[in-house]
Amino acid sequence: MTAPTILITGCSSGIGYHCAHALKKRSWRVFASCRSQVDCERLAAEGLESARLDYCDQASIAAAVDGVLKATDGRLDALFNNGAYANPGASEDLATEHLRRLIETNFIGWYDLTRRVVPVMRSQGSGRIVNCSSILGFLGVRFAGAYVASKFAVEGWTDTLRLELKGTGIHVSLIEPGPIESRMLDNARDRFMRTIDVKRSPFRHEYAREYSRISSGSRSSRFKLGPDAVLAKLVHALENPRPRARYRVTVPTHVGAWLKRLLPTAALDRVLLRQR
């Protein structure tokens, strides 16, 4: 039988990197995309088929899809939207230009890529679309407004897409990780230092405390899991005849979903404020 094909974004490190290699071992034909050509070449040297795909560059999205379809004779069995980043900072401190770029990367690019893939899957009569959201796709926390906004958008859009594609043979799922071992936190800290004027911020003292917790690794470390935890949910979403609409990963995500369902808003706000 021909190996099933999947396009995965954000494969330079972390969840995408791990899942790309693991799915190849499970006999998937994996197209692992990265924003940087250098990273694509590194993945190719490791034995993966790789394509450059920058969610902020429509031409690169189109070229990546065209390249994958050419290599597979026009077939694509699955898409895993995973590439994203965080830019921490209070809403009044983060300039609109930085929000705009983040939304372009974390949501609009996903929308563009998915629209190009859906007609292929529709013509096949089958396909799997898996979007990697976050616990912050259903819970808001301070100093993460841009990332929260992007993930809330992903969640609402994915729910809509699932309804629109009902009966087509295309299954749509969300994965909602909590803290996962990756470089995302380090990258987010670097962006924070580049984009936020801490000295002029009304939150400068709280930023200092938060930065200290992140740097020490104490924040959420006891609940942090490796990317294998996400891989297990991704495999189910891709290979099970009845994939779920949502897959929650890590204790904080399960607890957060439970609290949001049970607590009134004011009580939930008090819980979330204590987590900072």
Catalytic residues: 147
Cite the beta strand spans of 181-268 per DSSP E.
Answer: 246-249
Sheet with 5-8: strands ordered across: 49-52, 29-34, 5-8, 78-81, 127-132, 170-177, 246-249
CA-based nearest residue to 58, from 134, 4, 132, 110: 110
Cite the beta strand spans of 9-150 per DSSP E.
Answer: 29-34, 49-52, 78-81, 127-132
